[in-house]
Amino acid sequence: MKYSYFNTLRSGNTHMNNLALYNNKTVAQIFKTEKVKGFPLVAYVMKPKESIQDWYWDDKKATVTRDYNMDFIKIMDDFKKRPRPTHWYTADKGKTHPPIESGNAHKSHLFHKSFPKIFESDWILYALCMLGYQGKCKQLDEMLLHNKPNVVVDLDYSIEQFKKRINIIPYKEDIRHFARGMFYNNYYYYSDDWYENVSERINYARVFHVRVQELLERLDIPYKLFSLDSGDYSTIGFEKDLPRYHTDNIDPTIPSSVYDKLDSIVDRYMSENHEI
């Protein structure tokens, strides 16, 4: 069986990518890259059995050789170090240096031509883009609420393919744990209203799974909710497991002067946003 993962910010993306590779599964991810001129939508497909990583953008494809023989526990420890040890996977799973010189915004309507290859993957992360929605926080929330997609796709084809897969919508039960991770990893949004900005991002992320449920129900696509805190990964196709929270704090952006206040910041958020 093949799986799709409808995730958003801080919702298990790296852990799922690790688990897929650890279980020798192919895994795809779709994202908009700021590392390439033109900021195109791109996708990679990691293929551990073939030791390659395929890249798709516009109407193009490139393939690079990758070594997937990794100690994922050590690699996640390396993610937490500054500077990070040099390894292609610690360079944001290859996304920091994609084999793409530039993209063409005028060809974004051709990106969905790569979907048949992406749908061959055992796992697809950030699968929402394949239904026409790409963005973050308020922008994405409003698009989902008002049914206004912003990516050109062959919707009938995507719906047909998703109906053949197990579609996972992750969610968090432990909101304090989620909020702590968001404040820990979002300091690059620092400004005088940093607390308010991150709190808003947390709140949009907390309702994301509800928005996706509503979308999949409108499109008659079956789905399964999965708790990132208590869900059993063996029920979604993984025979071998990794420590559940070992990807915590892999992208620290918060300075030590603020880290010392982190617990009180999270306390404030929880008191002000117990329900949204």
Give pLDDT tens digits along the chain (276 positions).
999 999 998 899 999 999 999 999 999 999 988 888 888 899 999 999 999 999 999 999 999 999 999 999 999 998 888 788 889 998 888 888 899 988 876 677 899 999 999 999 999 999 999 999 999 899 999 999 999 999 999 999 999 999 999 999 999 999 999 999 999 888 765 567 889 999 999 999 999 999 999 999 999 999 999 999 999 999 999 999 999 999 998 877 888 888 889 999 999 999 999 776
Q: Name 116's Cβ contacts closer than 8 Å, sequence gap at least 6.
A: none
The pLDDT of residue 250 is: 85
Beta-strand relationship, 224-227 and 3-5: unpaired
DSSP characters for 147-173?
T---S---HHHHHHHHTTSEEEEEE-S
Which residue is it, tokens 């055992």? 122
C-beta of residue 20 within 8 angstroms of C-beta of residue 28: no
Other C-beta atoms within 10 Å of 263: how many?
Answer: 11
Give the whole-angstrom CA distance, residue 260 versus residue 254: 10
The pLDDT of residue 172 is: 96
The residue type of 255 is P
Answer whether the bond into residue 83 is a cis peptide, omega within 30°. Answer: yes
The pLDDT of residue 106 is: 63
The pLDDT of residue 144 is: 97
Other C-beta atoms within 10 Å of 32: how many?
Answer: 17
Give the whole-angstrom CA distance, residue 118 versus residue 33: 17
How many domains does the structure of the chain reveal? 1
- pTM recorded for the entire structure: 0.94
The residue type of 115 is F
Which residues constitute the domain of residue 257? 3-272
The pLDDT of residue 47 is: 98
